[in-house]
Amino acid sequence: MTRTNGIGGASVWVALSTTLSLVAGVPVAFAKGPAGASFDMAAETAPAPAACPSGVGEGASCLSGKDSAGALYMIVMPRQWNGDLVVHAHGGPFLGAPTVKRVTEDVERWTIMPRLGYAFATSSYRQGGVAVTAAAEDNERLRRLFIDKVAKPRHVYLHGQSWGASVAAKGAELFADGEPYDAVLLTSGVLGGGTRSYDFRLDLRVVYQYLCHNHPLPSEPQYPLNIGLPADSPLKQPDLAKRVDDCLGLNKPAAERTPEQASKIKTIVDVIHIPERSIQSHLNWATWHFQDIAQKRTGGASPFGNVGAVYAGSSDDAALNAGVLRYTADAKAVATLSADADLGGKIPVPVLTVHAIHDPTAMVELQESFGRTMAAAGRGDALVQTFTGDKDHSYLSDPTYAALMDALTTWATQGKKPTPESIAAGCEKAREKLGQTCRFEPKYQVKAIETRVPKRDRP
């Protein structure tokens, strides 16, 4: 898809910058997406000039606004725009109402995009919580708003980070008509589908409770752990952190923990296959995000179960498997979450991914699951997956993303499909200018998700 540069009702952009010579474009009128989604650009107001967050590049201009669905957004226009747009799908998901802080932080984290010359647009989404399809619709609305109110890009690239990678993949599937996106970049992605990506967090809840007996406490009302929390629970994150510290001593240096605490930590790390440093965060997600799913998305029932899962790696696996609480996923809840958050793989444009092998938040084996999904949809040849030796999740390095974007745009515009080796070489070239690190491992072969998360019975 190639577009001519132009303005679509974009007097705001003209006022902000005279560095580009843009001709009038055609506004996007009323259009409908899937599942009842509608995009009436007449209902959208033009974004207003805004102060740019730090690091976006000298001479860059920023716009911000609130769309008709209630999502906040920010757009960065670099001083020397290359004519292309990156629509960013942020991770999380964050709970609560949309905030300006959310979009500002996204711009600050991904300044590499405008510094490379791309216009960059990011949405807070209209709501917090685990709502994948709604978030994908919000990104599509932002893409259309940019074209109608700001400028007509030559190419549009969809970028999803972490949970936002599932949002981006879902959006690329849903809004495939006319191929509005030229290519997709998915980084550190939670790409196993909503009904499977979080199995290990239920496993963490039941193993933690088996070891610690304090979430919930024996004196508190008992509830199914697979719902996260009851709707009326007063528990807050500091409360849970205190309970975890009481049981595991996570906030203490290893030398100050009791032998019992050290043993329990080892059991969790060896059975759940997550690093010690991410135990608390995953427990938080398995508490409040599971609550969001059960209470707000699936009618009070849980789509997660662990019947049939066999846990291994403890000092006494027989006792562990006999002692952990067991739950059956509710079939209707599974169907509801699947319709919203599972992926079909029918993405009609090139897809490039990167994932740190030692990612502490989104396990790298989720990429194996996504590869199977794309292949099953007949789109395996449209996917190139890359891996790095990093131990981080939120951001790897500037030259990593510069190499990925260069490879992706070349693939989309010239038909030259990259390889992990060519992208690794591109990173080293980008590092000469940008500094920082390149840790691509082109020979790495990702293992099946079942090697890390035990299989279980499913409705």
Shared domain for 63 and 77, answered yes or no, is yes
> Cβ–Cβ contacts within 10 Å for residue 455, how many?
11
**Alpha carbon distance, N-terminus to C-terminus of the chain:** 41
Are the beta carbons of 155 and 412 closer than 8 angstroms? yes
- pLDDT of residue 2 exceeding 60, the answer is no
Which residue has tokens 């502490």? 360
With a CB cutoff of 8 Å and minimum separation 6, the contacts of 95 are 128, 129, 288, 289, 292
Give the domain range for residue 21. 6-194+344-450
The residue from 338, 373, 388 where one domain ends is 338
Q: Same domain for 73 and 165?
A: yes
Whether residues 190 and 239 fall in one domain: no
Q: Which two tokens stand for residue 110?
A: 């991904």
Give yes or no for residue 143 having a pLDDT over 60. yes
166 and 263 assigned to the same domain: no
What is the reported pLDDT for 96? 86
pLDDT of residue 37: 66
Residue 89 included in any domain? yes
Cα-based distances in Å from 166 to 67, 229, 336, 356: 22, 24, 16, 17
Residue 457 covered by a domain: no
Segment 314-335 mean pLDDT = 98
Above 80 in pLDDT, residue 18? no
Secondary structure (3-state) at 372: helix
Position 267 in a domain: yes
Whether residue 459 lies inside any domain: the answer is no
d(CA 60, CA 79): 5
User: Final residue of a domain: which of 338, 358, 379?
Assistant: 338
- pLDDT of 185 reads 98
Across residues 358-363, what is the average pLDDT? 97
Q: What is the mean pLDDT of residues 158-182?
A: 94
Does 455 reside within a domain?
no
What kind and span of H or E run contains 437?
none
22-59 pLDDT, tens digit each: 322 333 333 344 544 678 899 999 999 999 999 999 99
Cβ(144)–Cβ(39) under 8 Å? yes
Same structural domain for residues 48 and 167? yes
For residues 313 and 432, membership in a common domain is answered with no
Tell whether 162 is covered by a domain: yes
**Last-in-domain residue among 308, 338, 368:** 338
Integer Cα distance of 104 and 313 in angstroms:
42
| Same domain (yes/no): 390, 440 | yes
Write out the two tokens for 209. Answer: 């409770």
Omega before residue 442 within 30° of 0, cis: no
Q: Is residue 223 within 8 Å of 230, Cβ to Cβ?
A: yes
| Total count of domains within the chain | 2
Separation between Cα atoms, residue 409 and residue 152, nearest integer Å: 17
User: Angle at Cα 355 formed by Cα 399 and Cα 390, nearest 5°?
Assistant: 65
Specify whether 262 is located in the same domain as 314.
Answer: yes
**CATH number for 358:** 3.40.50.1820
- Picking from 374, 350, 370, 352, the residue whose alpha carbon sits closest to that of residue 362 is 370
Q: Which of 1-5, 109-113, 300-304 has the lowest mean pLDDT?
A: 1-5
Q: What is the pLDDT of residue 14?
A: 39
- Kindly write down the DSSP assignment for every residue of 6-21, as one continuous string: EESS-HHHHHH--SS-
Judge if 137 and 87 occupy the same domain.
yes
Q: How far is CA 49 from the centre of its chain?
A: 28
- Quick one: 175 and 219 in the same domain? no
My answer on whether 291 and 357 are in the same domain is no
Point out which residues pair with 121 in neighbouring strands. Answer: 75, 87
Domain identity same for 322 and 355: no
The reply to whether 456 falls in a domain is no
In this structure, are residues 400 and 388 in contact, taking their beta carbons and an 8 Å threshold? yes
Return d(Cα 207, Cα 4) in angstroms, integer. Answer: 56
User: Per DSSP, what are the bridge partners of residue 158?
Assistant: 87, 184
List Cβ neighbours of 270 (8 Å cut-off, separation of 6 or more).
313, 314
Q: How far is CA 233 from CA 216, 236, 287, 288, in A?
A: 10, 9, 11, 10
Cis peptide before 93 (omega within 30 of 0): yes
Tell whether 289 is covered by a domain.
yes
Structure tokens belonging to residue 240: 């849970």
Interval 364-382: pLDDT, tens:
999 999 999 999 999 999 9
